[in-house]
Structure 1
Amino acid sequence: MFLSLMPFSPRAMNETNSAATLASYVARVRHLYTLPAVAAEVLRLTSEPTVDARSIKLCLENDPALTTRILRVVNSSLFGLSRQVTDLNQALALLGVKPLKMLVLGFSLPRNLQSSVDAQVLARYWKHSLLKAIASRELATRVFRISGDEAFLAGLLQDVGMLAMVQDLGESFTRFLDHVAQHGGNLLDLELDALGFDHLVVSSRLLDSWGLPETMTTAIAARPDCEPILRLSGPAKPIAMTLHLAELLVRMTEQPYGSALHELLFAGKAYGGISLETVQAIAQVMDERIGELANVLNLELPSGKTTSELLIAAHAALSDVAAEASREMIATGVEEQLLESTLALREQIATTARSTSSSAVASSGTVTTAAASLPHSVARESRSSNTSNFDPGLAGLVTSAIAQARNSRVPVSLAFVEIDRATDLCYTLGTSAAAGLMHEVGLALYEAVHGEGRVIEIASARWAVVLLDYQRSAATSVLRQLQSQWKRKSESADRGEKSSVATASISLSIGIATLALPSKNFPSEQLLAAADRCLTGAMLSGGDTIKTIEF
């Protein structure tokens, strides 16, 4: 029979706890990193019904270093002014209040947000942020015909949450970022798998506490995915589209042999069309301005190939037939390093959230608000390797299966199956249709094991399968067939053919642990933890993957 237990996560806290962890963490970040006084006052002055340019000038003069930095940027090629600007009066007269406000906010990060951050990590952060800001400005004016100044500011600040997490989570998050920088991968997806949220939601909440408008914070919080972005409305939508394309442009420079260029052209088509020629032109502007901006801001950036050279490499990689297979060929050592970093990061975020002082949380008044406003796309369950999180019902079933396998002298396999990026299905199909689709996957899973295994729904998009008398190879073969079945259904849906998958693209991650010769008193927790570890490894490898282990 198809057995359905009460939903639980074998690897993690439930969604309520995950949201509470994020809420506590965001409250801590907002309390620690407040906007500098001059920038906060400029923001207040420019929000008044009648803007007083003289008051803004007097306010900025209280911070000579910031004034110098702003004038150097104003005189750069970013603004293309015909004459040199030597004081704030000229800058206000030539540019107006809005661009000046953008520069003040963009280059007034709290000092404690950058102190003690590893120099290499900080250099990567600034290169990524400056490149994204430049790309956002160009995309805004060339493609979407919106304000380049707002897009520049959004691109410059979208990843500030990552800087807060580097500062607050320390070495565990730094090692995590180093691994992604060295071996590639989608940082936001990996953050979701490790923490249950990504740094964009931290950026959005932090910038909201600084007083940035809702349009900006909504666009910044939007995950770089066409489906949810296209469902946005109002002025936040074109900014979010701009940020998505800019992020892919920058990722292309960081991982030229990855899929960023393909994703960029696909997303560009979904947003109304962006040609390879436009991408090349923007890449050239990025090359021209990144060095100049770094120089005027006294920033040391990592050296390397130009954006244009990396674009050529990325374009060549589009035709590389080996690219699709590379995910399956990742060295075991690399995967183990990522898994180790992920587990350490989960533990660190839990510790940091717990350490938030009750007085700070109470005074900020943000915990309830943050939890209530948490988008479903980031309210994913955090993963945990703690075996005490395994449901007693499942643990008892596995214990019984191990005992039966030992008595019959046959192997037993335990598999965890999860739909990749399942929360996005709610955006793609709607809650009701997504729930129906997940139920259909569960039924297909039961049919795949021909009624010989026990299939247990442990969450809305996650199942456990206990297979008695199944060797590792047999379990892998059966579940790979299921994986291929849903991949074919998704491809049929993409081609517009009639399919129960509607327009959703479904892939499955699977982790299998096999006990070949069950010994007396073999702990069920060990098999559960092994299958969980394999599933986590499959998801961190990009999904649509099977990872196995045998005892």
Structure 2
Amino acid sequence: MHPELEAHLSHCRNLPSPPGVALRIIELAQNPDVVMSTAADTIGLDPALSARMLRIANSPLYASRRRVENLSQALTLLGLNATLTLALGFSLSQGTRSGQQPAAQERIWRRSVIAALASRLLGQYTGQRKLEELMLAGLLQDIGMLALLQLYPDDYAALTELASDNTSLVLAERAWLGCDHAAAGNWMARQWNLPVLLQEAIGESESSASTTPFNACVAVSGYVADIWLTHQPESTQLAHGVAAEQAATRLGMDYADFLALTEQMVKTLPEVCAMFDVPASSPARIEALLEQARELLVVRNLREIQDAARARKDADESESRARRLAEEVRRDPLTGVYNRGQLETVLEREFDTATRHGWPLSIAFIDLDDFKQVNDRWGHLVGDEVLRNFAKTLVKHVRGSDIVARYGGEEFLVVLPGIAEDAAAHVVRRILSEVSQVAMAQVDGVPLHITFSAGLATQGALDQFQDVDSLLRAADDALYGAKRDGRNRVAVGAISG
């Protein structure tokens, strides 16, 4: 960057700057020993940021089989790295949208948000691993525009108005300043102490070539964003062709994949725009974009498209098989609920979260009454049927956020996050009442009913267990008390001693 421009930026008092929470998140991201609970504490200080993290966890980007209902579940779903990266993007986008030329700022941020989603999807379609970092790099690639807008509010706003597209804007910047907004953005990223990965991607976002696939995704995302920012059909078609060509040249994407990316953008962008408080395109505009993309597809070689679609289907099927295999490892093969190994992982996480935040956490040890007699009298096949149907019934009567696992043999464990002792006891007793009325198998046409005994323990305001093992022991002791007192009942345990 030109030394004179750097000096002007250095002395500009109203440059965009990260808010306090963003600065804290930057520090956390650079600490290799940071843990999820620390990130949760930091994000929890900002209600608006917490709400955005919850919303993105429930968005199509992170489609989950059950709805995420609180910040703890959201951060657990996203993982530590994604949590810090996405939270930083949200906090920076909100903290730097103020000052002069609000209309110009909104145009810049709209392009940034579109590029953020495009960068992530480009990374996804090309097999990149750091999808959240790509989304953040796409979001921040135009921060140099915000800096130049603050430094030269009237002149730079006029320049953005006159430029027909981003390419012409970059050429005008270089003619006027001797550099472009990507160089200014790189300087800003260094001042904010952002990770080097982001600094380099921002600096290369307007280069004609990229040194890494990561940087290429970010650079191409700007071309994809330009598709949504043009208004004339001819300009839109031209922008789409340029973006597809850049994706093919820099990332090796064929047009079938690029069309799939466009369709995914259309599906997901309204949700992402809402999360960042920027306007999305109108439905008519979106439909026009898709129609033009499909028209371009028609002129491509049909065989090439068919081969690409077949390859994509094979890849999706392989990915689906991999996901199924990964899920099977976590599940008990007979009942389909979580196995003991996965239970230990989930329970440790829930216990740590509950203890740190002072939230209640109840667990129930459940043991089928006289199950040995079922096996001895009717055989193990009937016993297996009873276990399968009992597990299904148990899952049916708990919340989607609760966890059901087979602990071993005829023992199950139910984890009830956020449920205090009295409420948990009511829930388990209700389940006991309803389960006893449902036949778990048919033997020679005769319905087979069972009951269970349960031991309940709660990590809460009164009982504070030191660790998960202590909580499990309390529930186990209560279970044995229930069986000793006659079975078919629920007993509540407490801290011993």
Aligned-residue Cα RMSD (Å) equals: 3.0
- 1:146 CA displacement: 3.0
Of 241, 246, 252, the match for 1:273: 252
Q: Secondary structure at the match of 2:126?
A: helix
- Code of the residue aligned with 1:122 in structure 2: it is Q
Instruction: Decide which structure has the larger Cα Rg and report it.
Output: 2
1:241 is the counterpart of 2:241: no
- Code of the residue aligned with 2:10 in structure 1: it is A
Of 108, 111, 124, the match for 1:141: 124
- 1:82 CA displacement: 2.4
**Residues 33, 118 of structure 1: alpha-carbon distance in 2 compared, 3 angstrom cutoff:** closer
1:40 is the counterpart of 2:15: no
- State how 1:98-113 maps to structure 2 within 5 Å: 98-109=81-92, 113=96
- 1:297 CA displacement: 3.6
1:194 is the counterpart of 2:169: no
1:221 is the counterpart of 2:196: no
2:452 maps to what in 1? Answer: none
Of 247, 260, 267, the match for 2:239: 260
Of 85, 89, 97, the match for 1:114: 97
2:22–2:88: 8 Å Cα contact kept in structure 1?
Answer: yes
- 1:50 CA displacement: 1.2
2:363 maps to what in 1? Answer: none
Q: Secondary structure at the match of 1:257?
A: helix
**Which whole-Å CA distance do the structure 2 matches of 1:145 and 1:112 have between them?**
29
**Residues 318, 92 of structure 1: alpha-carbon distance in 2 compared, 3 angstrom cutoff:** closer
1:459 maps to what in 2? Answer: none
**Which whole-Å CA distance do the structure 2 matches of 1:156 and 1:125 have between them?**
10
**Residues 240, 30 of structure 1: alpha-carbon distance in 2 compared, 3 angstrom cutoff:** farther
- Code of the residue aligned with 2:217 in structure 1: it is T
- 1:169 CA displacement: 1.7
- State how 1:314-463 maps to structure 2 within 5 Å: none
- 1:124 CA displacement: 2.2
1:257–1:317: 8 Å Cα contact kept in structure 2?
Answer: no
1:282 is the counterpart of 2:261: yes
**Which whole-Å CA distance do the structure 1 matches of 2:13 and 2:257 have between them?**
38
> Which moved further from structure 2: 164-173 or 303-312?
303-312
2:330 maps to what in 1? Answer: none
**Residues 29, 113 of structure 1: alpha-carbon distance in 2 compared, 3 angstrom cutoff:** farther
**Residues 308, 133 of structure 1: alpha-carbon distance in 2 compared, 3 angstrom cutoff:** farther
Of 70, 77, 88, the match for 2:60: 77
2:185 maps to what in 1? Answer: 203
Deviation sequence 1:104-153 (CA, Å, 0-9, x none): 21111276732244453333223211211111111101124332111111
2:220–2:247: 8 Å Cα contact kept in structure 1?
Answer: yes
In structure 1, the gaps of 5 or more residues are 1-17, 320-551
1:150 is the counterpart of 2:127: no
**Which whole-Å CA distance do the structure 1 matches of 2:95 and 2:130 have between them?**
31
- State how 1:59-74 maps to structure 2 within 5 Å: 59-74=42-57
1:251 is the counterpart of 2:233: no
Aligned length: 295
1:121–1:174: 8 Å Cα contact kept in structure 2?
Answer: yes
**Which whole-Å CA distance do the structure 1 matches of 2:283 and 2:206 have between them?**
26
- Identity between Structure 1 and Structure 2 (%): 27
2:43–2:50: 8 Å Cα contact kept in structure 1?
Answer: yes
**Which whole-Å CA distance do the structure 2 matches of 1:205 and 1:298 have between them?**
26
